[in-house]
Amino acid sequence: MFNCGSAGLPPALQVRLLPPSAGPAAWRLLCARALRAFADGFVSVLLPVYLLALGHDAVAVGVLATATLLGSAALTLAVGFGAHRRDRRLLLLAAAGLMILTGLGFAALTEFWPLLLVGFVGTLNPSSGDVSVFLPLEQAVLAGQVDGKDRTALFARYTVAAQITGALGALAAALPALATDHFAVPELEAQRAMFLLYAALGAAAGLLYRGLPPLRPTTHAPEAALGPSRDTVYRLAGLFSLDSFGGGFVVQSLLALWLFQRFHMELPTAAALFFWSNLLMAASQMLAVPLSKRIGLVNTMVLTHLPANVCLIAAAFAPSVEVAVVLLLVRAALSQMDVPTRTSYVMAVVTPAERPAAASITAVPRSLAAAVGPVLAGGLLAATSFGWPLVIAGGAKIVYDLLLLRGFRHHKPPEEH
């Protein structure tokens, strides 16, 4: 069995890669997240190209992206409200099985409505971030694997592992074109093979989850998934939804589509751009750890996010592909510092029993809000090549930043007092 547990690594390397207080399950969860991110990386770039090759249009790309986000939201909500009473290891194994079926479905089907159904019930992710059913389960387990002072550092490593392999996944989206150019493999068949790879990566993640110890709830599990932190969680969920509403207009699949239409960018070039973007995102998230210790979690989220969104709006008005690429890379270097800090903040301001529900409730409205954007962005891109989706996304995210700063700047977790 594929083993990514801590026993397979020298102690000195373990200390460097994870915070000292991290428990043994952390290794497997980080490795599984990395595998899933690699799969999401190439699927998010390849999806619009694959659907266009099957004969579908830009509106269909947007509708299918919306369906995947809506389906993920419904499943994540159901899991989040029930996870405090169930073995989280078994839930993770079931999610891995669903990932396998999703890859097989997209490889086998060609008609729009069957693909839409698989997209809705499956785990396909049109975004460079994680909006899947895995999210609340992994976050809740990780939060219990480390001391409070090391929580942000662990979540930074969790997201960095995803960003690095997601970058490699985005680069791997060019493999079908290379197979066609150099080995005369039919382009559509090469693209289908990538969805089979997606299914194989789901199987590998399942093997990692299988090696986890049972993660059953305590004997005295609370009746309600949320208790004393209910109001705080709902307020955060509302704000995160506004951020994700904007993000839905620029999920990686549609950002790639805009680059294809606006600048006639080739698929290998777009794959390289998203590779470097993901690497910059990964590097920036490690910088979020010392920065959050100096200025606090909320300030780190806001003061890095604001300039990133200004760059996103500016990219829509870029006169050339070179200027657009520079602005998007600057945005990538700043836009994801809020990911580990946001997760750490949510886990810190709720009780341990509330963590699965808190992770789910703050993620699901984000998925629902993000699901609105792709279909609207697809319609806009079908009508014009101008970057209206980038303008709308940046504007919504700036409003979110200002509201978050105003409402939570003085609401600090225990370790910041």
CATH number, domain at 377?
Answer: 1.20.1250.20
pLDDT tens column, 342-372: 989 998 888 877 887 888 888 777 767 777 8
Q: Which residues contact 219 (CB under 8 A, 6 or more apart)?
A: none
- Host domain of residue 181: 21-215+226-416
Q: Which residues contact 34 (CB under 8 A, 6 or more apart)?
A: 161, 162, 164, 165
CA distance 93 to 133: 11
Comparing 53-62, 113-122, 218-227, the range with the smallest average pLDDT is 218-227
Q: Is residue 57 in a domain? A: yes
Percent of residues, the chain, with pLDDT higher than 90: 43
Query: 416 falls in which pLDDT band (50, 70, 90)?
Result: low
Q: Is residue 381 in a domain? A: yes
Query: How many structural domains compose the chain?
Result: 1
Q: What is the mean pLDDT of residues 242-248?
A: 90
Q: Is residue 390 in a domain? A: yes
pLDDT value of position 243: 92
Which of 213-222, 225-234, 278-287, 356-365 is predicted most confidently?
278-287
Which of 99-103, 168-172, 257-261, 263-267 is predicted most confidently?
99-103
- Taking CA atoms, 127 is separated from 48, 62, 146, 317, in Å, by 12, 12, 28, 23
Query: 332 falls in which pLDDT band (50, 70, 90)?
Result: very high
pLDDT value of position 2: 37
pLDDT of 405 above 70: yes
Q: What is the mean pLDDT of residues 10-30?
A: 70
This prediction's pTM: 0.76
Q: Is residue 4 in a domain? A: no
Query: 128 falls in which pLDDT band (50, 70, 90)?
Result: low
pLDDT of 34 above 90: yes
pLDDT value of position 7: 40
The angle that helices 151-172 and 25-53 make with each other, rounded to 10 degrees, is 30
Q: Is residue 13 in a domain? A: no
pLDDT tens column, 164-211: 888 889 889 999 999 999 999 999 999 999 999 999 999 999 999 999
When comparing pLDDT for 155 and 215, which is higher? Answer: 155
Q: Is residue 81 in a domain? A: yes
Q: Is residue 8 in a domain? A: no
CB atoms within 10 A of CB 182: 8
Q: Is residue 11 in a domain? A: no
CA distance 87 to 82: 10
pLDDT of 12 above 50: no
CA distance 416 to 78: 32
Q: What is the mean pLDDT of residues 286-292?
A: 89
Residue for token digits 């808190």?
358
| Residues 246/396, Cβ–Cβ less than 8 Å | yes
pLDDT value of position 163: 79
